Amino acid sequence: MSDRIEEIRSDFSLLEDWEDRYRYIIELGQDLSPYPEDARDDDHKVPGCVSQVWLKTYVGDGTDPLLRFDGDSDAHIVRGLVAIVLALFSEERASRILDIDAEATLRELGLDEHLSPQRANGLRSMVKRIKSEAAIATTPA
């Protein structure tokens, strides 16, 4: 598990109420790297999200490449959720991404209980997209 997701998990455990956790999620989104303007298109848009969400994948070399993701959203809270998803998956090998139990991590953070159904669906769509990218990256040409 990446150091970044462990840091988020630790910070979440220190925050007593969900008002503080929502503020923290928004702060995480503010810390995202700038998203490339040329990737704000339909090819990079994640379907199934109420807000607009874009994910750009960078694939390394080899049969089990390292994958890196950039992401963004037009909604503050969703941008923070993008940051959590990227902390979980970015800079991991494709095979590792396929093995990560994102649902368990998001449940552990309490996100499954405290997100609207639309945001929860969007979060699942992001995870599905990233796992699909990892599966493609491990498929021989």
Q: How far apart are CA 136 and CA 117, in angstroms?
A: 28
* Residue 112 confidence (pLDDT): 78
Pick the catalytic residue from 5, 46, 49, 137: 49
Stated as kind and residue range, the H or E segment containing 24 is: helix 18-30
**Phi/psi at 42 (5° precision):** -65, -30
- Domain residue extents for the chain: 3-138
| CB proximity list for 118: less than 8 A, separation 6 or greater | 50
* Residue 117 confidence (pLDDT): 84
**Phi/psi at 92 (5° precision):** -115, 155
**Is it true that domain 3-138 has CATH number 3.40.50.620?**
no
49 is catalytic: yes
* Residue 89 confidence (pLDDT): 97
Q: How far apart are CA 10 and CA 109, in angstroms?
A: 10
* Residue 141 confidence (pLDDT): 65
* Residue 120 confidence (pLDDT): 87
Low pLDDT (below 70) residues in the chain: 1, 141
* Residue 118 confidence (pLDDT): 86
* Residue 1 confidence (pLDDT): 52
Task: Give the tens place of pLDDT for each residue, 97-116.
Answer: 999 999 999 888 988 788 88
105 near 88, Cβ under 8 Å? yes
